[in-house]
Structure 1
Amino acid sequence: MTPEEILTAAGVRGFLHARRVDGAGPDTGFGIDEPVVLSSVVKVPLVLEFARQAAAGQLDPRDRVRARAADRLGGAGSAGCADDVEYSLRDAARLAISVSDNTAADLLFDRVGVENVRSLTAELGLAGTRIFGSPRDVLRTILDDGEAGRPLRALDPACTSAGTPREMTELLSLIWRDEAGPPSACALVRDLMGRQVNWHRLTAGFPAEVAVAGKTGTMPGLRNEIGVASYPDGTDYAIAVFTRGGSENLREPAIDRAIGEAARTAVEQLRA
């Protein structure tokens, strides 16, 4: 089956783009310029902006932040802790990427500035990428929309943080080529994405000898992941897969597997 057929068979509408990081050869995909909700994929440009500011000496990555009760949204990492937690900015970046800690991302957004993340995407030429705000900001729209009984803006790419599959693979390619900022900043993002603990989407689709660094994004009815698959021959492939549909359960193993299978199939097409 084609990558699109794989996702359709899983009961979702897919949007996918894959390319070689070095820009050589063709690319492949479908829905590559369609707006899609980033969800936690937004943490990649967030952490990149943090890393750039740290490299420029605009902030000290060892500065400490405190996640208090009012900050903790629930979920993974410090977002779900029962008590106050304190950590450095660089550990906030690690938590935001590795376990998709929303509270760590909020604290990082507070420090680096939402406007600066928006400026970053503009500087990199990602004209179709929109940074709405932090996870806290998105949660507020969900609560407001739920109380008002209207469709959730958080699920509408016109009303929340959004991008396109093509722009997400461009972002990854720039990071992997050290063109998204100072080499030290790009290296930090690559390292943190390689430490993501969620292996059930992109990583699950590739054989063990292929290293995959990625960042997932999940909301009811939305399941995404962007990442880079590095083959033993030294070739790197940037991949972005976004899906809409399926149940609103956050755990949908069949869709997760389909994301990885579609990604691997797309890369195999390129390698062929």
Structure 2
Amino acid sequence: MAAPDIAAALQAGFAAAGCDGTLHVRDLATGAEVGLEADRPMVPASVFKVLVALEFYARAAEGSIDPAKQTDLRPAVVTPGPTGLSNFQDPVRLSLRDLARQMMTVSDNAATDVLIARVGLDAINARALTCGCRETRIVSDLKAMLDAMAVELEFRTYAELLAAQAGKLGPAAQAGSLDPARLDAVAALDPARGSRTTARDMTTLLASIWADGAALPPACATLREVMGQQVTRRLEPAVPDGGTLAAKSGGLFGRVRNEIGVIGWPDGGRYAVAVFTRAHQPFAGAAAINAEMARAVKLGVEAVRQA
């Protein structure tokens, strides 16, 4: 765990940014580690898509799934999300491996649920456990989670909830859809009732992927490649000049902002990092929280490099 002075600096930084945070950093060569509440259960949000991708690529490498198999999708009926296929205007046909790339690079919810339907939640959770993720559990696909959130907030579907939040259903509906107390009561934002993980579990997962232990080596290599292509890069400021970042971000309802990944140092060092945050006020302070996530990771990596 972190030395007292590092832990205090991390806690102070998260508090000043307007959030609570957990962190774990692991040197992939030496095993040296630094953490802040690294075993505290947290909401994974889209970080869990690494687990979906891992199971898909593992099955493809084993030959039980054809990654080139084509799938027809209609934007009006797929799982909604802020990016990806649900925002297209016309039907599309994509291979499963292109759906996986959509899921990892732009966090496409529709692509994610197609892949979950192919590989199954039980298999995803079982592989997480074999990778050493003992506190991680994914309880539903995204459509079920988002629609359940909407119902808990007294809307019929997630699409209707989004319309309310955008002000399309009137001021009363908008106020109700954004009420902090009501949002905090939904199961998806409670790791005791919804999907959950920990910062330590996620660096354990990353260590397994980077060591080719999570699945056959070609599967792990492909996953590492697509993680390096993610568009959202909250941790980019923690990467030194000449370094690399392969990561997956996650966010949910203005409360949750997360990112996990592996930072490569120019001298060859590699560091698995996981940072999870929960904003004190929903839909507020995103820039400050993102900046603090990167600062905390940088501080953690510097600490393990000096260990």
**Range into which the TM-score falls when normalised by the shorter chain:** over 0.9
Counterpart in 2 of 1:90?
Answer: 97
Q: C-alpha displacement at 1:160, in angstroms?
A: 1.7
Partner secondary structure for residue 218 of structure 2: helix
1:30 and 2:64 are equivalent in the alignment: no
Partner secondary structure for residue 20 of structure 2: strand
1:41 and 2:47 are equivalent in the alignment: yes
What is the alpha-carbon distance in structure 2 between the residues aligned to residue 251 and residue 107 of structure 1? 33
Matches for 1:106-117 after TM superposition, within 5 Å: 106-117=113-124
Matches for 1:30-69 after TM superposition, within 5 Å: 30-68=36-74, 69=76
Q: Does the aligned pair in 2 maintain the 1:79–1:104 contact within 8 Å?
A: no
Counterpart in 2 of 1:137?
Answer: 144
What is the alpha-carbon distance in structure 2 between the residues aligned to residue 125 and residue 206 of structure 1? 27
1:218 and 2:225 are equivalent in the alignment: no
Q: C-alpha displacement at 1:207, in angstroms?
A: 2.4
Per-residue CA deviations over 1:10-68 (Å, capped at 9, x if unaligned) read 0111100001123x152101110000000000100100000000011111000112222
Amino acid at match of 1:145: E
What is the alpha-carbon distance in structure 1 between the residues aligned to residue 125 and residue 151 of structure 2? 24
Per-residue CA deviations over 1:121-142 (Å, capped at 9, x if unaligned) read 1222312100112211211221
Q: C-alpha displacement at 1:217, in angstroms?
A: 0.5
Between structure 1 and structure 2, the one with the greater Rg is: 2
Which residue among 203, 216, 221 is the counterpart of 2:236? 203
Deviates more, 1:213-222 or 1:4-13: 4-13
Deviates more, 1:146-155 or 1:106-115: 146-155
Q: Does the aligned pair in 2 maintain the 1:17–1:32 contact within 8 Å?
A: yes
Structure 1's unaligned 5+ residue stretches are none
What is the alpha-carbon distance in structure 2 between the residues aligned to residue 258 and residue 77 of structure 1? 27
What is the alpha-carbon distance in structure 1 between the residues aligned to residue 215 and residue 150 of structure 2? 36
1:4 and 2:11 are equivalent in the alignment: yes
Which residue among 281, 289, 293 is the counterpart of 1:255? 289
Q: Does the aligned pair in 1 maintain the 2:255–2:278 contact within 8 Å?
A: yes
Which residue among 221, 227, 233 is the counterpart of 1:193? 227
Q: Does the aligned pair in 2 maintain the 1:205–1:257 contact within 8 Å?
A: no
Which residue among 176, 200, 205 is the counterpart of 2:210? 176
Deviates more, 1:183-192 or 1:141-150: 141-150
Q: C-alpha displacement at 1:77, in angstroms?
A: 1.4
Deviates more, 1:144-153 or 1:39-48: 144-153
Deviates more, 1:67-76 or 1:52-61: 67-76
Amino acid at match of 2:70: R
Amino acid at match of 2:186: L
What is the alpha-carbon distance in structure 1 between the residues aligned to residue 292 and residue 212 of structure 2? 31
Deviates more, 1:166-175 or 1:63-72: 63-72
Q: C-alpha displacement at 1:251, in angstroms?
A: 7.3
Q: Provide the alpha-carbon RMSD of the alignment.
A: 1.6
Q: Does the aligned pair in 2 maintain the 1:72–1:81 contact within 8 Å?
A: no
What is the alpha-carbon distance in structure 2 between the residues aligned to residue 64 and residue 204 of structure 1? 38
Amino acid at match of 2:98: D
Partner secondary structure for residue 225 of structure 1: strand
Per-residue CA deviations over 1:208-257 (Å, capped at 9, x if unaligned) read 32201110000121100001000111110000000012432277111111
Partner secondary structure for residue 154 of structure 2: helix
Counterpart in 1 of 2:196?
Answer: 162
1:153 and 2:153 are equivalent in the alignment: no
Per-residue CA deviations over 1:105-128 (Å, capped at 9, x if unaligned) read 011111111111011112223121
Amino acid at match of 1:207: P
Amino acid at match of 2:96: L
Q: Does the aligned pair in 2 maintain the 1:195–1:213 contact within 8 Å?
A: yes
Partner secondary structure for residue 162 of structure 1: coil
Q: Does the aligned pair in 1 maintain the 2:18–2:285 contact within 8 Å?
A: no
What is the alpha-carbon distance in structure 2 between the residues aligned to residue 5 and residue 188 of structure 1? 38
